[in-house]
Structure 1
Amino acid sequence: MEREDWTLVEDHLYLSGILSVNSQQTLLKLNIKKVLTVDIKPIERKPPVDDYMFIRVNDHWDEDLISYFEPTYEFIKEGQITGRNVIVHCVGGVSRSATIVIAYLMNKYKWSYLKTFRYLEKKRSIIDPNYGFKEQLKLFEEMGFKINTSNKTYRNLLLKNLSYKLRYNAPWRSFVTDEDENPIESYFNKLRISKPSTDGCKCGYKCKKCRHLIFLDLNVVRENNDTVLIEPLESLKVTLLQSHSGSLNCPHCCTKLGSFNWNDVKEENKLLGKAIPVLKISCKKIDRSLIDC
């Protein structure tokens, strides 16, 4: 007899581990029409369902799951609205898939993270999102249940995740065709989820030679007397994709502005105790000025 590891969360929504999804008998029994996999790889045999969605995420505290809260919400919502049963799963139905279901319920009912966690825990006592995912759920609540790419905490989270991805992307692979396999492409795609608001921006940084605007204070991670450490910029993406280190030139006049090295783990390149991939811009090469946002 097949072991059952599924939980009915509410009408048309189930949460489970991999065992239930690998059992065609269980899928037929529950009348599952949509499957959402949150794992490092899709299930080996495509299930006999109408819709299948795969989110590539490891169960690691530096992983980014919050960027997928909105598309997974739409996937689950469509199933509930049309009366087609949805099952969300990872390996054990404990951390990754539980996080997705919590985010869905938070968004649907506008509940706090704590209220939603307690609600789901009563349904499935084994749920236990890892520390990083819990923090992302709290951030999702703070952002009003939608992704705000102007939020510095969210941007810092993406930077930490990029660092995590780059550490496991050796040897260096440039121009990987699958954006999910290319951490830099994936990073920029996530920042395109919504157009960043310039509300709160006070300064712009221009190339001293040609006066071209290079970045805003929104992009600054840390600044000292000699160097400005900034996030990776899409305007410099071609350079960043070619190597793990190199020079950074103004995209307008090609003047050298600074350098980058993804393997640099100096203390000055750390955010919240973690080494992060930042661009080093020389203060001698740029001018800072107030901008009208």
Structure 2
Amino acid sequence: MPYLVRENLFIGNIGDAAEVLQNVSEEITHILSILSSASISFFSEWRKGLTIPTKEIKKIYVGGAGAATSDDDLGDGSKSSLSPEKLLYSMEHAGKDLKLVRMAVPMRDTESEDLLDYLDVCLDFIDRSRKEGSVLVHCFAGVSRSAAIVIAYLMRTEHLPQEDALESLRKSCEFVCPNDGFLEQLQMFEEMGFKVDHNSSLYKRFRLKVLGETYNRGEKIDSSKYRADPGMPTEVFCEGEATPEVGKKCTPAYRCKKCRRVVALQEHVVDHIPGEGETSFEWHKRGSGNPLNKSEEFDCSSVFIEPLRWMTAVEEGALEGKLSCAQCEARLGYFNWSGIQCSCGSWITPAFQLHKNRVDNSTL
């Protein structure tokens, strides 16, 4: 039996969802399924002989360009020519007389699973569902995945700290217990102001951690996980060029010194806390009387960025190697999934490094 968390908001397990889908509920009009598979067929696998009528509305994918694309009813069950790479969610009418609206999101209950990237679509669906009727949020056991989503919803709508939102949910359903990885991400969600800020240093470091763990497990990383190549033509003009487009702001960027190709934007930079500078290499320091001694200077000689799709060697799966300009092949820096030490002494892992003497600061 689903547990009532707030008005028009329920939490439950797969059995609760199957019951609602089989016997149309007068209370629940929408279902949010958080399961390893976004397919409706899991109900048949869970309970032999169970058949539930469904009609697909659309599927939303994240494609190679990093943008969401949709496949509306194709009729023949085939995929579109867009070759989507990652299913973000699927929508369908389901249950008796197809009266229920169900959104299914593919997410595993593991500490390494990326919860943050699914929060916006899930929380928006819950909002819409509560306005139109009532919604059941469920996973397999109703303990971890569905709880993490409902906690995030309470955090955003009621501006509750993560711990308070968890405690509040436990008053309605005492056995909920999101895994530690989800709790860490919900803490980041709180620190980002109850939103998923893709330009936040917290988010960027989290994404690098997820990619690094994926690589260390020996899994091939899909190119859709890397940020788009910023070296594409742009319509935005800046100082010294033609008329700027109204309402557009100039974007700080890094260009290859040799051919001027854009290789990174400021939004791709991953900040780090400066270490102990050259004192990390104290064994070859010169004496304090030498005017050339730079040991007290902490300015980093490199900038560290997120992996981008022009990095051919990275996409090919190498552990480490040079980062060369995609246009003129000039050496720009280095990458290493095991990490690189910055000149300031800090270790960045994994690291995608541009040497400042190989790039120029510019704008788009």
> TM above 0.5, one fold?
yes
Provide the residue aligned with 1:58 in structure 2. 108
Aligned partner (choices 100, 115, 132) of residue 82 of structure 1: 132
Identity rate, percent: 30
Shift of 1:11: 2.3
SS in 2 for 1:133: helix
Correspondence for 1:248 among 319, 323, 330 = 323
- For 1:1-293, list aligned pairs within 5 A: 4=1, 6-23=2-19, 28-29=24-25, 31-42=27-38, 43=40, 44-45=42-43, 48=95, 50-83=100-133, 85-168=134-217, 170=219, 172=220, 182=222, 184-186=223-225, 188=227, 205-216=254-265, 218=267, 219-220=269-270, 228-234=303-309, 236=310, 240-244=314-318, 247-260=322-335, 264-265=337-338, 268=341, 276-282=349-355, 285-287=358-360, 289=361
SS of equivalent residue, structure 2 residue 29:
strand
Cα–Cα, structure 1 residues 104 and 21, in superposed 2: closer, same or farther, change >3 Å? same
TM-score (norm 2): 0.59
Query: How many Å apart are 1:259 and its aligned residue?
Result: 4.5
In the alignment, is the contact (CA less than 8 A) between 1:63 and 1:164 conserved in 2? no
| 138 and 226 in structure 1: CA distance in 2 versus 1, 3 angstrom threshold | closer
Contact kept, 8 Å, 1:12 with 1:80, in 2: the verdict is: yes
Question: Alignment length, in residue pairs?
Answer: 259
- The answer to whether the 8 A contact 1:162-1:187 is kept is no
Distance 2:324 2:158 in 1: 48
Is contact 1:62–1:160 with CA below 8 Å preserved after alignment?
no
What is the one-letter code of the residue matched to 1:279?
F
Paired residues of 1:37 and 1:88 also in contact (CA < 8 A): yes
Q: Which segments of 5 or more consecutive residues in structure 2 lack a partner in the other structure? A: 44-51, 53-93, 229-248, 278-299
- Cα distance in 2 for partners of 1:266, 1:142 equals 26
Q: Following the alignment from structure 1 to structure 2, what is the Cα–Cα distance between the partners of residues 77 and 58?
A: 23
CA contact (8 A) 2:32 2:135 kept: yes
Supply the distance in 2 between the matched residues of 1:275 and 1:93 (Cα, whole angstroms). Answer: 37
SS, match of residue 68 in structure 1: helix
CA contact (8 A) 2:305 2:352 kept: yes
| Secondary structure of residue in 2 paired with 1:92 | coil
**Letter aligned with residue 10 of structure 1:** R
Distance 1:75 1:136, change over 3 A: same
Q: 1:161 to 1:94 in 2, by over 3 A?
A: same
Larger radius of gyration: 2
Amino acid at match of 1:122: K
More helix by share: 1
Q: Where does structure 1 lack aligned partners over 5 or more consecutive residues?
A: 174-181, 190-198
Indicate how the Cα distance of structure 1 residues 267 and 211 shifts in structure 2: closer, same or farther if over 3 A, else same: closer
Q: TM-score, normalised by structure 1?
A: 0.72
Equivalent AA in structure 1 for residue 14 of structure 2: I
Alpha carbon RMSD of aligned pairs, Å?
A: 3.6
Deviates more, 1:38-47 or 1:12-21: 38-47
Q: Quote how far apart the aligned CAs of 1:255 are.
A: 1.9
Query: In the TM superposition, what is the alpha-carbon distance from 1:97 to its structure 2 partner?
Result: 0.9
